[in-house]
Amino acid sequence: MGDDGWRDMPALISRETVGALAEALGELARDQAKPFATVLHGGEPLMLGARRLEFVLRSLRAKLSSGHALCMQTNGMLLTSETADICARYDVSISVSLDGPRAVNDRFRLGKQGESTHEKVVAGIEVLRRHPRAAFLYSGLLSVIDPTSDPRATYDYFKGLGAPSIDFLYRDGNHSSLPFGKESPDSDEYGQWLSRLLEAYLGDPAPPRVRFLDDMIKLCLGGFGIKEGLGQTDFGIAIVETDGTICKNDTLKSSFDGADRFTEHWSVRTHALSAVFATQEFARYHALQRPTSSTCRSCAYLPVCGGGMPLHRWKAGTEFDNPSVYCSDQKTLISNVILRLRKEGLKIDPRLAERATSSPAVSV
């Protein structure tokens, strides 16, 4: 979506930067009381190769106790028994990116020559499923929603791959560059898709975990979500690039070129993470999680929706001071969650009760 910051970054993280990162994370672990998770993600972390991967994980684990999760997000195509063994050795869980059955996945996830990637990804998943520590290693699947696909077929397919957890994501996009499949900011194609997924999920007597729906259900009941993008819990997220530069959440890159960069140039080579997190500039970035739009702030669904992800609020001219481009989708899904929970005789968060409709927002 126009970002070209990757051009200035080395393709591979150097040994020196790995050492600086490990030291910085170890110092942060000593400085703050709450544990944190460290995630290796894309590009594609397995392009490091087995030898470099082991060096990275050994360096990080030397500074971080088992109380600090190490995780990896991968497209799965380079997963081998050797890399799975390395991850198991250093207690690193693995989530694989896959959007659905072959026809769905290969709509957007093709190789450099336009070839299918599906079989290679599934082969990587099978490596995890056959591993002696599969219950730990295979943490689940991450799927970007295709609103033109069949949600029940996608759900059943993922369950057939033995996924213990599925994380469905809205596609990147904003008011100035609409996400694939959305006719307008007022349309609810994704909300309709997720509502049909909800029925498949709740009708399954032995379901895997679906984080997005689990969070929404808990929030409608007055509980808390566990990841950014729903609810009003704040999360501290920082990105370390391959040259050691400390950046904002990389999802912001889709808003405009450089949206993920701080004004100050911070690096794990020269700055302590705890010092960076204590700055006013980081505080302003952290506050971006909460919506500023009066539409959001006056909405009874805000305790559940949370205003959505900041990247989805972007619009040229008004910047992030807008409801999410997925606002209508969120309302459709929340209405259907509330109706389903009431049907089961459960008590809804009183703040939401007045907004619950008497008829479904979608036929399922």
Report helix angle 327-343 to 189-202, nearest 10. 30
What are the CB-based long-range contacts (under 8 Å, 24+) for 281-290? 285/248, 286/234, 286/236, 288/320, 289/228, 289/234, 289/235, 290/232, 290/234
What are the backbone angles phi and psi of residue 138, rounded to the nearest 5°?
Answer: -85, 90
Give DSSP secondary structure letters for 175-209.
SSSPPTT-SSTT--HHHHHHHHHHHHHHT-SSPPE
21 sits in which H/E element: helix 15-31
pLDDT at residue 261 tops 70: yes
What per-residue confidence (pLDDT) applies to 357? 47
Local structure of 95: helix, strand or coil = strand
What per-residue confidence (pLDDT) applies to 188? 97
Tokens standing for 112? 């450099």
Give the count of alpha carbons within 13 A of 349, CB side only: 22
User: pLDDT tens digits, residue range 45-78?
Assistant: 999 999 999 999 999 999 999 889 999 999 999 9
pLDDT at residue 186 tops 80: yes
User: pLDDT tens digits, residue range 103-124?
Assistant: 999 988 888 888 889 999 999 9
Give DSSP secondary structure letters for 240-305.
E-TTSBEES-GGGGGTSTTTT--SS--BTTTS-HHHHHTSHHHHHHHHTTS---HHHHT-TTHHHH
Determine the Cα angle at 113 with ends 108 and 116, to 5°.
Answer: 50
Which residue would you say has higher pLDDT here, 8 or 209?
Answer: 209
Residue found under tokens 């290969």: 106
Query: What's the topology of domain 5-210?
Result: TIM Barrel (3.20.20)
Q: Mean pLDDT, to the nearest integer, of 84-103?
A: 96
What per-residue confidence (pLDDT) applies to 170? 96
pLDDT at residue 195 tops 70: yes
Instruction: For residues 172 and 177, give the distance between their C-alpha atoms in angstroms, rounded to a whole number.
Output: 9
Give DSSP secondary structure letters for 126-152.
HHHHHSTTHHHHEEEEEEE--TTS-HH
Q: Mean pLDDT, to the nearest integer, of 145-154?
A: 97
Q: Mean pLDDT, to the nearest integer, of 8-17?
A: 89
What is the chain's Cα-based Rg?
21
What per-residue confidence (pLDDT) applies to 359? 43
Instruction: Tell me which residue of 267, 251, 268 sits closest to 259, measured CA to CA.
Output: 251
Instruction: Tell me which residue of 300, 318, 361, 311 sits closest to 336, measured CA to CA.
Output: 361
Residue found under tokens 């929970």: 341
pLDDT at residue 134 tops 80: yes
Which residues are CB-contacts of 318 (< 8 A; sequence separation ≥ 6)? none
In percent, the amount of the chain with pLDDT more than 70 equals 96
Q: What is the largest CA-CA distance in the chain?
A: 60
Report helix angle 211-220 to 327-343, nearest 10. 70
User: pLDDT tens digits, residue range 313-363?
Assistant: 999 999 999 999 999 999 999 999 999 999 999 999 887 765 554 444 554
Residue found under tokens 């990389």: 250
Which residue would you say has higher pLDDT here, 256 or 362?
Answer: 256
What per-residue confidence (pLDDT) applies to 112? 83
Local structure of 116: helix, strand or coil = strand
